[in-house]
Amino acid sequence: MKKTEKDEYDKTYGLFKFKRPLPSEIESAMGLVGESILFKKLISADYERFYDPIKIPEEGDWLMTHKEYGQTYNEYIQKDCIPVDPNHNVIYIHRFSSNDDLIKDELFQNLIILLEAFFTGMKVYLYDEGNTNYFNNNENMIENGDENNNENNNENNNENNNENNNENNIENNNENNNENNAENNNNQNNENNENKQSNESNEKMAINADQLLEKLKLEIPEDAYCLLGIIDNDLYTETLLPNGKRLIKATYGKKSIADRVSIFSLARFDPFFNFNGKIKNLSKEQRYKISLILLKRVCSAITREICYMFGMKNCTFMSCCMNGTNVAEFDNKQIELCPICLRKLITNIRANGEDIKTYRVKKPLIVYNRFVKMRDALDNFSGLYENELKWFNARIDFLKTLI
Ligand SMILES: [Zn+2]
């Protein structure tokens, strides 16, 4: 490596001095030693041409304010992996529908098809029982204009970027800390503005994420690998402070990896979050376009959310679906996994009950077949993934020459 290139890699970014990983570190993180030649090729051949390096963080980006350690393939296998087994190999999606769904059913179907491709080898079922009276239980809800939002505002204003304080983050994938707090996105004015707007609109009530998560824990089917609840309503968590006051915080979702359940809100991915008055003036066509933006954000967020249930952590190696992300970064977020994260997922799914620490993927063509399925799934999205489709076609054409 030339000295000038070395200098580029030595640069640090943000509070925690993030450094771009060296190519040698990326290759080491793949941990492909001992795998078959074909598997290695399908995972990593010419990866520098096909996969973008991790984006240099800029002001407002996740990596500027969050300490990330990355997770190599070997770290995943040795300590973080939650193995799939033949008796627990279904990803259940429980959609809590409302009368005015943010994503209409026909578009939601595309999301399910995408999940089936992304998690090739797993079953993906819509959980449709018990779509219950939860919304009739007023004690689980708060109106956005609730007095406790004052606490929420204060909390957002006091954002502390210290690594030990993950408040207001879009997500925290630490298994031991299931708080999945909503973002501030480093833009307090906007946040305050949004909260102010929210006072003017009570169309969808915010729901207590803790209580909903507890409910999901009781619903998890026997054969579930995980159960992901998806809800249009905004979510909040509530903590009782020593002074007796309630601290209410908005959140994107909450998960309990040990219980294999997660609840996730679409509300803040809606470009018109808290602007319900305006959306009524839009034409049908405009609304459809907005729903596509929402859908794209949600696809990136939900695939990553489910990857967390597999024990995968935020990726710091390359541009990847598993990169830590603030909400403003979601529109440019990669839908596909980098080779390191792809290897984690595929190996776990294929091991399917065998000892994953010694498992070698026996039918490597699964990697190629998954790329084809991903391409076909993204093709359903009416041009929403045009660039991604080009990428998948190029990758597929290239891999064909290696098989
Ligand atoms: Zn990755």
E-strand stretches of 147-260: 206-208, 224-231, 235-240, 246-251, 253-256
Q: Please indicate, yes or no, whether the overall pTM of this predicted structure exceeds 0.85.
A: no
CA of 322 to the centre of ligand 1 (A): 5
Contact 145, 274 (CB under 8 A): no
Query: Distance, CA 44 to ligand 1 centroid (Å)?
Result: 12
The percent of the chain in helix, strand and coil, each rounded to the nearest 5, is 45, 15, 45
CB atoms < 10 A from the CB of 383, how many?
Answer: 8
Rounded distance from Cα 266 to ligand 1 centre (Å): 23
385 Cβ contact partners less than 8 Å away, ≥ 6 residues apart: 296, 335, 378, 379
Per-residue pLDDT 10s for the chain (403 aa) are 666 667 777 788 888 888 889 899 999 999 998 899 999 999 999 999 999 999 888 888 888 888 888 999 999 999 999 999 999 999 999 998 766 677 777 778 899 999 999 999 999 999 875 444 444 444 445 544 343 333 333 333 333 333 333 333 333 333 333 333 343 333 333 333 333 334 434 456 889 999 999 999 999 999 999 999 999 889 999 999 999 999 999 898 999 999 999 999 988 888 777 665 555 677 878 877 888 888 889 999 999 999 999 999 999 999 999 999 887 787 788 899 999 999 999 999 999 999 999 999 999 999 999 999 999 999 988 888 999 999 999 999 999 999 9
* Residue entry with tokens 């290695």: 40
Residue 98 C-alpha to ligand 1 middle, in angstroms? 34
Cα of 26 from ligand 1 centre, angstroms: 10
E-assigned strands of 20-122? 90-96
pLDDT at 3: 65
Among residues 36, 130, 113, 52, the alpha carbon closest in space to that of 333 is found at 52
H helices within 167-208, ranges in order?
188-199
215 vs 248: CA distance, rounded Å: 20
Nearest to 332 by CA among 346, 318, 321: 321
How far does the centroid of ligand 1 lie from the alpha carbon of residue 342, in Å?
Answer: 7
Q: Give the Å distance between the CA of 318 and the centre of ligand 1.
A: 6
* Confidence at residue 179, expressed as pLDDT on a 0 to 100 scale: 38
Residues 6+ apart with CB under 8 A from 138: none
Residues 51-63 as b/e (b if ≥16 CB within 10 A, e otherwise) read: beebbebeeebbb
Rounded Cα distance between 266 and 199, Å, is 19
Name which of 122, 85, 90, 84 is nearest 223 in CA terms.
Answer: 90
d(CA 119, CA 179): 25
DSSP-based three-state secondary structure for 80: helix
H helix or E strand, kind and range, residue 367: helix 365-378
- Please name the amino acid found at residue 120: T
CA distance 236 to 222: 29
* Cα separation, 368 vs 374, whole angstroms: 10
- Alpha carbon 195 to its chain's center: 24
CA of 344 to the centre of ligand 1 (A): 9
Location of structure tokens 């954000």: 297
Residue 76's contacts (CB-CB under 8 Å, 6 or more residues apart) are 311, 312, 313, 344
Q: Can you give the pLDDT at residue 392?
A: 97
Q: How remote is the CA of residue 340 from the centroid of ligand 1, in Å?
A: 5
Which residues are within 8 A (CB) of 50 and not within 5 positions of it... i.e. 6 or more apart?
A: 391, 394, 395, 398
Separation of CA 259 and ligand 1 centre (Å)? 24
Residue ranges per structural domain of the chain:
1-82+313-403, 85-309
Take residue 396 and report the two structure tokens written for it. 């597929």
For 280-306, letters b (16+ CB in 10 Å) and e give eeeeeeeeeebbbbbbbbbbbbbbbbb
E strand or H helix that includes residue 142: strand 141-142
- Can you tell me the distance from the alpha carbon of 302 to that of 377, in angstroms, rounded to the nearest whole number? 15
Mapped onto helix, strand or coil, the DSSP state of residue 16 is coil
Q: Report the relative pairing of strands 235-240 and 206-208 from DSSP bridges.
A: parallel
DSSP-derived letter for residue 270 is S
